[in-house]
Chain A
Amino acid sequence: MAQNGNKQVFSPWTDPSAKPLIQFKNVTKKFGEFVAIDDLSIDIFEREFFALLGPSGCGKTTLMRMLAGFETPTTGTILLSGQDISPIPPNKRAVNMMFQSYALFPHLSIWDNIAFGLRREGGSKDAIAARVEDMLRLTRLTKFARRKPHQISGGQRQRVALARSLAKAPKLLLLDEPLGALDKKLRQDTQFELMDIQEKTGTTFVIVTHDQEEAMTVASRVAVMDEGRMIQVDTPDRIYEAPNSVYVADFIGEVNIIQGSASQSGDTVDITFAEGQPTIRGTTDKKFANGEKIAFAIRPEKVSISAEKPDDMENALQGKILDIAYLGNISTYHVELPNGQIIKSQIANTRRISRRIFTWEDTVWVSFTDTAGILLKV
C-alpha cells in the first residue's frame, strides 16, 4: 500500500509490455539432496519494493544469495535486465546485499565500514566523506562513527549494515531482515526512510521480513513462500483480503478457518460445518463441487459480536466467550461455538476496559456478512 493516494497506481506486473528487472525462470537450488528453492519463477520490476515472507528455512536467504551472486542455481536461469547473471561475479553486479548476520568488518570503524564499498569505486575523498556522512545521518549513527562494531548495540549494528548497503546506491538492494532488531518507533521511521530512499533513487528493493505489518507497510508486492516455492505473489491488500490458500490466509495476520462441505448455487455457497449449526453463507467466483470439502476463512476484525441476534447479517452463530485478549487498542474475543469451534472476533476498544460490555462466560452472537469471508479449497 505504498503507492496509493493521488499518485498514479504503480503496478507494472499487470502491464504485459513492462520489462521485469529480475526474472527467475524455473530456478531450482539444491544443497546436496535438499531442495532449498523448488522450480521457482517470478518477475520483479524496476522500482518495486518486493517483500519476501515465509517461515524460517523456506529459502528466503537462498533466493537473495542467488541474486547477489553467492549461490548459483542448480537448474534454471536468473535474468537481470534481460541478461543471464550467472557468469557475473558478485563484485561486478549492480546489486548490494544487507546480510542477515550484518557481516560488519570487525577491524574497521563504523565510518570505514560504510565507506568500504565507496572506496572500491574510487571516488574522490570528499565525495566519499560526504556520502558516508549522509548515510550516518540517515541511520542516526553520526555519534558512533569512530567506534568499532563490537562497541555498539545490536540495533546500531543493524543500522550500520543497512547504511553500508545503501551507500553505493545500487540498482538492486537486497535486505535480509533489515529492521528486525530495531524498536518499533525506530523501525517505523526507518521503514519510511527506506520508502523515501526508494522514491528518490528508484532503487529496486527486495526485502525479507518476518514482520507482516512491515511487509504490508513498505511493499508494492508481497511474496509468501513455503518450502522453496512461491505460494502467492500479490499486492499487500490482495494477500490479506484474497489469499489463494489456507496456508497464506493462516500465515498472514489472524484468521478464523472453518472447514465444512460446500453446496453452491450461483456465486453463493452454503457451508455445512457442524451438526445442529446453521450453515455459513459466503460468496465466491470460484466453482466448488457439491459436498466438496472447503475452508471458510474470515479475519477476526470482520466478525462482530453482540448480545442479541442481529437481523442485518447473513451469518450469525451463538457461542460463549472463552477468553478475551486485551491488546490495548483492540481486544480479541475467543468465542466457543457449541461444536467446539473457536471463532475470534476483534473489536476496537472505544470504551475504557472497565466499561466493557462482555465478559468471560457470556453467551453472545458472532456475526458477519456473506462477503466478509473467503472460500478456499483444502
Chain B
Amino acid sequence: MKRFTLIFIPYIWLAALFLVPFLIVVKISLSDTALAIPPYKPALDLAQGWAGLMAFLGDLDFENFTFLAEDDLYWKAYLSSLKIATISTILTLLIGYPIAYSMTRAAEEWRPTLLMLIILPFWTSFLIRVYSWMGILGQEGLLNQLLLWLHVISEPLKIMNTPTAVYIGIVYTYLPFLVLPIYAALDKLDDNLLEAAEDLGCSRFKAFWLVTIPLSMNGIVAGCFLVFIPALGEFVIPSLLGGSQTLMIGKVLWEEFFSNRDWPVASAVAVILLLILIIPIILFQRNQQKQRESEG
C-alpha cells in the first residue's frame, strides 16, 4: 500500500500540473476563435448532458493545425527555433564544460564559493538581467563604448536586435543549468582513474578524452537538455534582444495569444511545440535512468 502511494504521488502531480492543463490546451487548439470570453467556441455545456457533450465534440476540428501547416511563417519559426536552440546549446557547452572542469580542479576550500558564484545570478530577476544585456549590447551600450575606447573597433558593432544578441542572452541565462550537472558528474570522478589511465600509457590529454569525458557524459547530456528544452520555447530573450529579425516560435506563440487574441491557433502552436519537445524530453529521461542504473 505504501509502495502504491509512493508511485502514485508523482503521477498525481504529473496529472494535475501537466496532463490536465495540456488537455485543456489541446481542447482549445481544436476550437475556433470567437468574440467571446473566453475567446473561443464551442463551450462545453454540461447542463445539457450527453447531447451537449456530443454537440461539443462535433464542433471540434483540426482546422488550426491545417492552418499552421499551410502558413510557412510557422514552419520557419519552428526551424529557426530549433536552429537557435541547438547552436546556443553547443555554445553553452563549449563555455560551460571548461567552467565546470576548472571548478572541480580548484582547491577544495574554494569550491563552495565558486558554486555560489554560478548560482548567484538567480538572485536577480531574470527580466532585469535580460534588460541589462540591452544596456550592454546596444549601439551606445557598454560593450561598444569599451571597444571603441580600446580602439578595437572604429564604428559601433550592431549586436542588439540580431541573432548574436539572442545567442548571448540564451548562453548567459542557461549557463548555470549546464554547469551544475557537469560539475556534479566531474566532482564524483575518482582521481585514481586518471592516474590509472596515465599509468597505462595515456597522456594527460588522452586520459581526459578517454576517462573524464565519458564519465561526465551523463552530466553533459543532462546539462544540454536543460539548456535545449527551455531555449527552444524561449520568448523573452528573442523579444527583448532579438528584435524583429529573429523568428522564434515562443515569440510567435506570445503574439498569437496576446496580440491577435487567437487562442486556438496559439494553442495549436503550443501543442506542436510540445510534440517537438517530447523527443528530447524522452531522451533526457532515458539518460537519467541509465545514469541511475549505472550507479546502482
Contact = CB atoms under 8 A, between A and B. Distances in A.
Interface of A: 68-70, 89-91, 95-97, 99, 101, 103-107, 116-117, 120-121, 148, 150, 164-165, 168
Contact of A121 (B201, B210, B295): B201
B125 interface: no
Q: Provide the main secondary structure of the chain B interface.
A: helix
Given A101-B192, A150-B294, A96 B214 contact: no
B201 A70 contact: no
Given A69-B199, A116-B210, 10 more contacts: A90-B198, A90-B199, A103-B195, A105-B197, A107-B217, A107-B294, A116-B197, A117-B200, A120-B206, A164-B196
A64 to B, nearest CB: 11
Given A101-B190, A148-B294, A106 B215 contact: yes
Contacts of A121: 201
Interface string B196-223: 1111111100100011001101000000
Contact of A106 (B198, B202, B294): B294
B195 A99 contact: yes
Given A99-B196, A116-B197, A148-B294, A105 B202 contact: no
B199 A116 contact: no
Contact of B200 (A70, A89, A96, A150): A96
B190 A103 contact: yes
Nearest to A95: B199
A94 to B, nearest CB: 10
B117 interface: no
Interface of B: 190, 192-193, 195-203, 206, 210-211, 214-215, 217, 294-296
A342 B127 CA distance: 82
Nearest to A96: B199
Shortest 10 CB-CB contacts between residues of A and residues of B: A117-B200, A120-B201, A103-B192, A103-B196, A90-B198, A107-B214, A91-B198, A91-B201, A97-B199, A116-B200
Contacts of B206: 120
Contacts of B190: 101, 103
B109 to A, nearest CB: 14
A314 B206 CA distance: 69
Contact of B192 (A96, A99, A148, A150): A99
B215 A91 contact: no
A105 B203 CA distance: 16
A95 B200 CA distance: 9
Contacts of B296: 150
B291 to A, nearest CB: 11
B193 A103 contact: yes
Given A70-B195, A103-B193, A107-B214, A164 B294 contact: no
A96 B197 CA distance: 10
A291 B295 CA distance: 65
B202 A91 contact: yes
Contacts of A97: 196, 199
Nearest to B196: A103
Nearest to A99: B192
Contacts of B198: 69, 89-91
15 contacts: A68-B195, A69-B199, A90-B198, A91-B198, A91-B200, A91-B203, A95-B199, A96-B200, A97-B196, A103-B196, A105-B196, A107-B217, A116-B210, A121-B201, A164-B200
B200 A168 contact: yes
Given A101-B190, A106-B294, A120 B200 contact: yes
Nearest to B203: A91
A99 B203 CA distance: 18
A79 B173 CA distance: 54
Nearest to B211: A105
A116 B214 CA distance: 14
B191 to A, nearest CB: 9
B215 A107 contact: yes
Contacts of B201: 91, 117, 120-121, 168
